[in-house]
Amino acid sequence: MSSVCRPGLRLRLLVCALLLVLPAVASSCANVAYNRAYQEAIEREVDDYRHQGSVEDLHRDVEAYLANNGYVAAPGTSPTVVESEWRAVDASSRRRLRVELIYNPEGLIAQVFEVWEEMSPQRFVADSLDRRADFEHELHGRLLADAGEPGDGAEPVYPRSADEIWAEVTRLAFDQSRMFVDPVPPIDSVAVSDWTESEGRRSRLEVRLRRRATNQYSVEVQERVERAVGERRWQPRSDQRDLRLELELIRLRDPLRAQQIETEAQEAGDSAYLRALDRGAIACHCTA
């Protein structure tokens, strides 16, 4: 009996496969439609919201809002601008919140910005490039080759494959907290390790395998040292309005309206989801 499917059977199998795939595609596109409509509704309602009360009351609530988010209001801020102290994210970046209070005939507008700064890169200049005889001597002992000792006037030549020699080089470097990224032996070229920084300097190993004959190589190891110059400074990275944070401020001052905004956004998302399913969601563009 032939194992080849008849044309009609192949067509039915293809249709069945499509029927299994299409609902998943439609659901995925509908989810995109929901998220887009939900986010747009949140942004629209938050942008239109007006805070009631005096600017002093809003200023005081903003300080409480900052505290709820783990920030401390910086001293000396103006009545219409409240900034938090900087909060470290890691060694090279920090952020803070800035709230701008704007007068409007219908009430006060409070715009929340998330401000990021990052530390400028450290600049280095060349300091020295020296032969690492100690590294070469230790490598010689590991390779156990029938070659002269390093420094006895003859450059050691190792009757080993380049891969074997390079494996020992990388293991010895790892024992000294150095890493080589390239796994390929640097035959008649130079491989460099990662930089190691300490007390205003940084250094890396530079290794070259010189081909002397078939499966015979010598190894040259140098250490390049650079010293730091100049001072690192904080520099701007981003300063963006965050409507999600503004919704949290509304929730603090007007929890009922905040809940209404979220409910309306969910309803807008649900409607978009159903519309996407109704039209099959196949024609929709699945873009965020």
Q: Which domain holds residue 200?
A: 123-229
Q: What pLDDT does residue 154 have?
A: 67
Above 50 in pLDDT, residue 206? yes
- pLDDT of 122-181, one tens digit each? 999 999 999 999 999 999 998 875 555 554 556 789 999 999 999 999 999 999 999 998
Q: What pLDDT does residue 149 have?
A: 52
Comparing 208 with 27, the larger pLDDT belongs to: 208
* In-domain check, residue 9: no
Q: What pLDDT does residue 137 have?
A: 92
Claim to verify: residue 43 and residue 90 sit in the same structural domain: yes
Claim to verify: residue 167 and residue 201 sit in the same structural domain: yes
* In-domain check, residue 16: no
Q: What pLDDT does residue 20 have?
A: 47
Claim to verify: residue 247 and residue 111 sit in the same structural domain: yes
Claim to verify: residue 102 and residue 69 sit in the same structural domain: yes
Comparing 261 with 7, the larger pLDDT belongs to: 261
Q: What percentage of residues in the chain have a pLDDT greater than 90?
A: 66
Beta carbons within 8 Å of 10's beta carbon, 6+ residues apart: none
DSSP 8-state secondary structure symbol assigned to residue 73:
B
DSSP 8-state secondary structure symbol assigned to residue 51:
B
229, 249, 268 - which closes a domain: 229
Above 50 in pLDDT, residue 18? no
Write down the mean pLDDT value for the chain: 86
Q: Is the pTM of this model over 0.85?
A: no
* In-domain check, residue 18: no
Claim to verify: residue 170 and residue 134 sit in the same structural domain: yes
- CATH number for the domain harbouring residue 166: 3.30.2030
Domains held by the chain: number:
2
Claim to verify: residue 96 and residue 191 sit in the same structural domain: no
Kindly state the average pLDDT of the residues 29-52: 92
Claim to verify: residue 112 and residue 144 sit in the same structural domain: no
Region of residue 132 (left: phi > 0; alpha: psi -120 to 50; beta: else) = beta
- pLDDT of 99-128, one tens digit each? 999 998 999 999 999 999 999 999 999 999
Q: What percentage of residues in the chain have a pLDDT greater than 70?
A: 84
Asked if 222 and 205 touch (Cβ cutoff 8 Å), the reply is yes
Claim to verify: residue 153 and residue 221 sit in the same structural domain: yes
Helices (H), 51-98: 55-68
Kindly state the average pLDDT of the residues 203-229: 95
pLDDT band at 30 (very low <50, low <70, confident <90, very high): confident
* In-domain check, residue 145: yes
